[in-house]
Amino acid sequence: MTEPAGFSLDVENLTVSIPLAAGTLRAVRGISFRVNQGETLCIVGESGCGKSLTSLALMGLLPAKAVRGADRLTLNGVDLTALSERQMSDVRGESMAMIFQEPMTSLNPAYTIGNQLEEALRRHRPVSRAEARERAIHLLEKVGITAAASRLQQYPHQLSGGLRQRVMIAMALMCGPDLLICDEPTTALDVTIQAQILHLLRDLQREFHMAIILITHDLGVVARMADRVAVMYAGEIVETGTAAEVFAAPSHPYTKGLLQCIPIPGRTKRGEHLGSIPGVVPSLIGEIAGCAFANRCPHAADACRSEPPARDLGPGRMVRCVLEPGAVPQMEPA
């Protein structure tokens, strides 16, 4: 198969399994997607649905006992599943980089900001320490940190949460990666700083022509950032489409339920009850028979006892449900 020109990440039937005493936890169950240059894909879903493990699987940073499988996992045509750990460490930071959810635990408290930024570049490029320092100062200024040169001598605990997150973004950009994976990068920040970080990511994406995978449970972030959306539930993708398509016409009952859980400016009245999704996510230990959402779906039928088909609704548009597209009724308010 000939690879298209330009950057692309292709994921087909990605699985992540973790052996436990009670059985095998099937945390990611056969997900597929594609990300092209300059595109933002948002992976959205409840906590525990497998979003973060998906990002760690792409980076090759899974826990020791976790087992990754895929029919296809390529970055710019390179098969990531065939790389050794040494080869994968060459890819991380160079071609793909990741911004983790909590910058305080991601930065090393024993080293200065400058040490950590310079190491990120010198690990992959034959540059001097002075050149690495110059690049670090440039990127710290690019992400909006004032007095960047003096910041290099500081330790992570001397910076605020917003500054630490900006340092993490600068570190991820040190080698100019093609793909930036952001695992809930604004979760630990207040609302004002969240908006600044999201605006910064969009500006940097346009400047560096990066592809971005943004993992979040915040649909407001999705509406602001996404070109395309992949909705995850219980370890699998249940709906994909452009952000406009998914928000305007959700085709899976879970997606509809998620959207009804958030207020709509100008339409949701003060004191009005928001929608809710009843029940709990099923255990992912062992095999799941039929649709994983059936125990929470008010529209479940006998057909849901079988594995729901992945319906192709057009280019880049898919839903995994037995209901006909457009037939998803409103979820009941709480």
CA 238 to the chain's CA centroid = 15
Q: Confidence band (pLDDT; 50, 70, 90) for 289?
A: confident
pLDDT tens digits along 100-125: 877 778 899 999 999 999 999 999 99
DSSP lists the bridge partners of residue 42 as 214, 229
CATH of 8-95+177-266+273-327 given 3.40.50.300, 3.40.50.620, 3.40.50.970, 3.30.70.60: 3.40.50.300
Most confident option among 13-27, 269-283, 310-324: 13-27
Query: How far apart (Å, rounded) are the C-alpha atoms in residues 281 and 304?
Result: 16
pTM, rounded to two decimals = 0.89
pLDDT tens digits along 21-72: 999 999 999 999 999 999 999 999 988 899 999 999 999 999 999 999 999 9
Q: What is the SS3 assignment for 319?
A: strand
Domain with CATH 3.40.50.300 in the chain: 8-95+177-266+273-327
Mean pLDDT across the chain: 88
CB atoms within 10 A of CB 208: 14
